[in-house]
Structure 1
Amino acid sequence: MKHSAIAIYLVLACVLAACATSPTGRSQFMLISPESAIVESKKAYLSTVSDLDEKNKLIDDPKMADRVATITGRLVTEAVALYPQSANWEWSVAIVDDPETVNAWCMAGGRMAVYTGLFDQLKLTDDEFAQIMGHEISHALANHTAERMSRAIATNIAVAGVAVASDNHALALGGAALAAKVALELPNSRTAEAEADQIGLELATRAGYDPDAAVTLWEKMGKVGGGERPPEFLSTHPAPQNRQAALASMGSEVRKLNPTGKKAAVHPVTIVR
């Protein structure tokens, strides 16, 4: 097979990849299965946690651990009820001692991290923290990790195709080797962020937390991000000016899911120590 034909074949492999549908009905481009994304995420998480442990960066404060586990556990209860496939996920949270970092994330498979900067700099209420964790959990439920990995793999297949066509074998091998690492570091798209906003708001409301807290959270986030160095959370979670308005407009309708604000049961969530 000629090099040009190989390049075309590699690019077509991306175009003909299987599609999936997100919880909101959006078509998703998938080159990797959600199950494979969970496997790769676990490897990355264990490596990250091990590194944090060696640096003594994992918080072991019983009061904070209980707060994080309780709020997150209520969200997970609702997540499992709505998405039964997540019932066997290894739900866990690492609380990272880093007062300068305003960030949180959830990998495929329910492995999470929160940074103490969230609490130190934003003075979060329980309702606001629930909005953050609901949003992050929603990225995992909607298979956004697999989607990001697919984007990275597609990019590297295209690079490999060009490399083969130009006899640049080093470029071909390098692009493929870089795919997995780049995939886990890619930010979510704005569409995925909006999707996580919606699903997260619903999760938090079902779990018994005030949907109006989504608006006050982003008000606080905007103030913290007003300096020369915005928080990491904003760098990976694009926040257009209409985001608060969109969340506010959803509030009254979402509130109908749990009009009394009854708190959900607490699903077991492991605090990584």
Structure 2
Amino acid sequence: MKGIANGKRLLAAGLILATAGCATVQTTQSGTVGVERKQFISSLVSEAELNQAAAQNYAQVLSQARQQKALDTDAAQTRRVKAIAQRLIGQVGVFRADASTWNWEVHVINEDEVNAWCMPGGKMAVYSGLIKRIQPTDAELAAIIGHEMAHALREHSREQVSQKMATSFGLTVLSALTGVQAVNDLGGTLSEVMFELPNSRTHESEADLIGVELAARAGYDPRAAVTLWQKMGALEQGRGQPEFLSTHPSSTTRIADLQAISERVMPLYQQAGAGSRP
């Protein structure tokens, strides 16, 4: 009984230490769409360290794609994706000024997956399967890329890694009692967060808000986010759930929310010169 009591005290101490390393922050400006939530992020997971881990993971993904002759194989497709991304990148300063200096990078990976993602620090990939199966317009593709960029701007991965780190502190203390080693690997944790764990409803909502505003400011019709998710829903019903939707849940409620968000940012789209945009 005494050993159990000591174990509980040690575990509590570990959790207190983990919590003490966290701070409530606002990673981005609110923008026109009004992203106001304060985030709980650990000072033990620095932005620089996570960006470095992301860059290393990204280099591995690109290296593997290159070896498989699956990296940027369609020149026209790659130019299209890069052009859309560049217009969106030009708007990121609205949400955070420092993001304008990030080393943004985007590539197209020739795989059948309906997928796209953006790592911390702006390392992006779009899968050719998404383009072939969804057949998005430029505005719909901007909605996808803008949504993924929003996850990076908002540091959602860092927030999730912080939560996992806090848990691992408790496990580390517990391992001292059980003899089971708990190892924290930042790169491995980031990979798990990026490619295996689903995004929370809150994270998805924030990415929708920011992504739609980025698209509107870049001159892409924000209403394309609605038609995009309608296409995603049809694909899900017709052929089974795409990889993209395994971490990006869709719903009729979400589509209704996107319709409201789109109307809110329509003036930004019009100011950007809607008549001259594709």
Q: How many residues align?
A: 257
2:54 maps to a residue whose letter is S
Q: Decide which of 176, 179, 183 is 1:169's aligned counterpart.
A: 179
Name the counterpart of 2:192: 182
- Runs of 4+ deviating beyond 3 Å: 2-6, 177-185
**Secondary structure of 2:117's aligned partner:** strand
For 2:126 and 2:168, the matched residues in 1 are separated by 31
**Secondary structure of 1:94's aligned partner:** strand
Name the counterpart of 1:10: 14
**Secondary structure of 1:242's aligned partner:** helix
For 1:252 and 1:52, the matched residues in 2 are separated by 39
For the 8 Å contact 2:236–2:242, the answer to whether it is kept is yes
Q: Which moved more, 1:83-92 or 1:199-208?
A: 83-92
Change (3 A) 1:179 1:13: farther
1:126 maps to a residue whose letter is D
For the 8 Å contact 1:37–1:149, the answer to whether it is kept is no
1:78 maps to a residue whose letter is Q
What RMSD over aligned residues (CA atoms) do the two structures have, in Å? 1.9
Identity %: 35
Q: Which moved more, 1:106-115 or 1:55-64?
A: 55-64
Name the counterpart of 1:105: 117
Name the counterpart of 1:217: 228
Change (3 A) 1:158 1:184: farther
Name the counterpart of 2:31: none
For the 8 Å contact 2:57–2:191, the answer to whether it is kept is no
For the 8 Å contact 1:156–1:179, the answer to whether it is kept is no
Q: Decide which of 16, 21, 24 is 2:26's aligned counterpart.
A: 21
2:23 maps to a residue whose letter is A
For 1:219 and 1:169, the matched residues in 2 are separated by 51
For 2:57 and 2:250, the matched residues in 1 are separated by 27
- 1:49 matched to 2:62: yes
Any idea what the Cα deviations from partners look like across 1:27-86, whole Å, max 9, x if unmatched? 212122322221111111111111111111112322112111111100000113542211
- Larger RCO (CA under 8 A, 6+ residues apart): 1
For the 8 Å contact 2:151–2:157, the answer to whether it is kept is yes
What does 1:146-157 correspond to in 2, within 5 Å?
Answer: 146-157=158-169
Change (3 A) 1:129 1:157: same
Offset of residue 102 of structure 1 = 0.4
Q: Decide which of 197, 200, 204 is 1:193's aligned counterpart.
A: 204
For the 8 Å contact 2:104–2:122, the answer to whether it is kept is yes
2:25 maps to a residue whose letter is A
Name the counterpart of 1:270: none
Change (3 A) 1:179 1:156: farther
Which sections of structure 2, spanning at least 5 residues, go unmatched? 1-5, 29-34
Q: Decide which of 127, 142, 154 is 2:139's aligned counterpart.
A: 127
TM-score (norm 2): 0.86
1:39 maps to a residue whose letter is Q
Change (3 A) 1:19 1:33: farther
For the 8 Å contact 1:72–1:133, the answer to whether it is kept is yes
Offset of residue 25 of structure 1 = 1.9
For the 8 Å contact 1:224–1:231, the answer to whether it is kept is yes
Name the counterpart of 1:243: 254
Offset of residue 3 of structure 1 = 4.9
Change (3 A) 1:82 1:262: farther
2:228 maps to a residue whose letter is L
Offset of residue 204 of structure 1 = 0.1
